[in-house]
Structure 1
């Protein structure tokens, strides 16, 4: 029996969806909020997830972001449920890896067709892709441990450079501790952050897979420890483990979509939208699932390069957000106090 995890208001989901799914021979598990939903997904490995878009605490986007970072869950179909269509929200969840988006009111037949089609497509994809058996997916963490075992390490302080744009790739990097950003520098000297990486992330793999020089500069954001995997070793492991190559290609595609959306926003958004989008982007990247509030320590110059705006303009906007009680600022740290309102500014 295929297992479906429902995340959201238990009373609403039980009455409108759970009973129907159970009558059609699906096993249903309920989770009343995003945090519990993530925990149950990790523990139960469902065949599919139906998730409310708008929830208190960790919302649908937060759930999806966490799910797609879990190797054992990255291929699980995720369908969002919402009370109204929002073109910006739809585009964002699909870019993050959602499989579908159901807008109420929808019929029971619409729901069953969506569930059946997505489960069928997931099964076909798993059968078609080499190295994508369920056993390999569940063993990915072990594969990564073997991939990173007994490697040389490098410890760097904030603002130190890992590699420079235009240099030849010699290593694949894995973050054991800390944060790293990749930066493009304009001819006028201004920096734009195009990638953010955290503990447990690989980076530098695009240049290796393309066999081309680095297209950006990698800079450490806080005290960081990196594992260094020589290029020759990485290439040999890729040959022996096709599934890892697929994982890196998937990460490349996801990062490319994310960069395209951010660059589009930087080009056309208002200043308030740019700053709000940067704060939400950092939260989606770095917030721990168990944390109620998101706090990050980041320099104003770094945040300005993430937002794609001048530092002086950023500081004024942060002051406005503080006055509106959207954020709190203390000793260089920023805490997001009203995420729904910040998301409303960022995406509407």
Structure 2
């Protein structure tokens, strides 16, 4: 009988080795990773049956790992359990909102760990057993369906700072970023801008107002030269209804966006500028999947909801503290651990 494969992502070697020993004695096949980036690579390479992942790690934390795996059709349905010493309610909500299946706080005993693993694996197997072969859609098949659906769609090219769509327009199209980066943003009565999202190649924009049958509730603008595909509303809704896995794909995207917006609003309401900037830099690193990325001072200020002058001073402080390096519009994160643990 084939063993269930479990990927353990944990930066603390002693804790990781202890977990590996428990799992090996319980007859599981084990794959290990010492940090988040390695964990993502191992997940794509081995496609495990379940993932155990620490939250606080250097380079890429557990939330970042879950976001990246949740975007990929091959890994988004793998049961995901967080292992963490953090017990704050907000962190729990953030993890579950991103799609985690369970949350185990350290220290934990062997029985609790194994019970959580067995429950998630059993639940997945029951769901698979109830699904007929005709209903099953492999990740590769869904990706093929998605690629075919996007092929030969109308493309529009936008120069930097060109408007893609505006708040109040009728939501007639779903937008797919083919090339470049597009930002979504809102404006208050005084014209002050708050950036609500950054969209890279391979990401969709504008599906929520289509599902709600409403107008666009925000604006979208190209941050650089961009190519965007336009999918008519009718085609999008038909795709959701007739394509296995499509509804699940977009529902997960919606859940991730809601969680991100909750975090953004909480940061603006309660966090210091330093804390907001630290969180924004970490989030941008995850979105661009790199510790180095380009963003203007004005746009970064609008991401965290502060004045440009305040942002520049805080960036300078971070640079002096060797948390980041700055070269023109390029920012490189040098110390993720300190940014993750930035006091409020």
Q: Same fold (TM over 0.5)?
A: yes
CA separation of 1:182 and 1:52: change in aligned 2, threshold 3 A: same
2:226 matched residue in structure 1: 224
Q: Of 269, 276, 289, which aligns to 1:287? A: 289
1:313 aligns with 2:310: yes
How does the TM-score come out when normalised to structure 2? Answer: 0.91
Task: Summarize deviations over 1:238-286 as a string: whole Å, max 9, x none.
Answer: 2211521221122112101210111121112112112222212211211
Report 1:55-204 matches (<5 A): 55-83=57-85, 85-124=87-126, 135-204=137-206
Give the aligned CA root-mean-square deviation in angstroms. Answer: 2.4
Secondary structure of the corresponding residue to residue 46 of structure 1: coil
Query: What is the DSSP-based 3-state SS (H/G/I as helix, E as strand, rest coil) of the residue aligned with 2:299?
Result: helix
CA separation of 1:37 and 1:133: change in aligned 2, threshold 3 A: farther
Q: Distance in 2 between matches of 1:326 and 1:10?
A: 22
Q: Tell me, in whole angstroms, the C-alpha distance in 2 between the residues paired with 1:321 and 1:237.
A: 46
Matched residues in 1 for 2:272 and 2:134: separation? Answer: 43
Decide whether aligned partners of structure 1 residues 266 and 297 sit closer, same or farther in structure 2, where only a CA change above 3 A counts.
Answer: same
- Give the 3-state SS of the residue equivalent to 1:135 in structure 2: coil
Give how far 1:303 is off.
Answer: 0.6
Deviation at 1:43, TM superposition (A): 2.1
Contact 2:13 2:34 in 1 (8 A): no
Instruction: Using the TM superposition, give the Cα deviation of residue 123 of structure 1 relative to its aligned residue in structure 2, in angstroms.
Output: 3.6
Gapped regions of structure 1 (runs ≥ 5): 289-293
Distance (whole Å) between structure 1 residues aligned to residue 238 and residue 88 of structure 2: 45
CA deviation profile, 1:136-163 (whole Å, cap 9, x unmatched): 3342221210111111211112211110
Rounded Cα–Cα distance in structure 1 between residues aligned with 2:257 and 2:139: 21
- Structure 2's unaligned 5+ residue stretches are none
Q: CA deviation at 1:117?
A: 1.5
How far does residue 131 in structure 1 lie from its aligned partner after superposition? 10
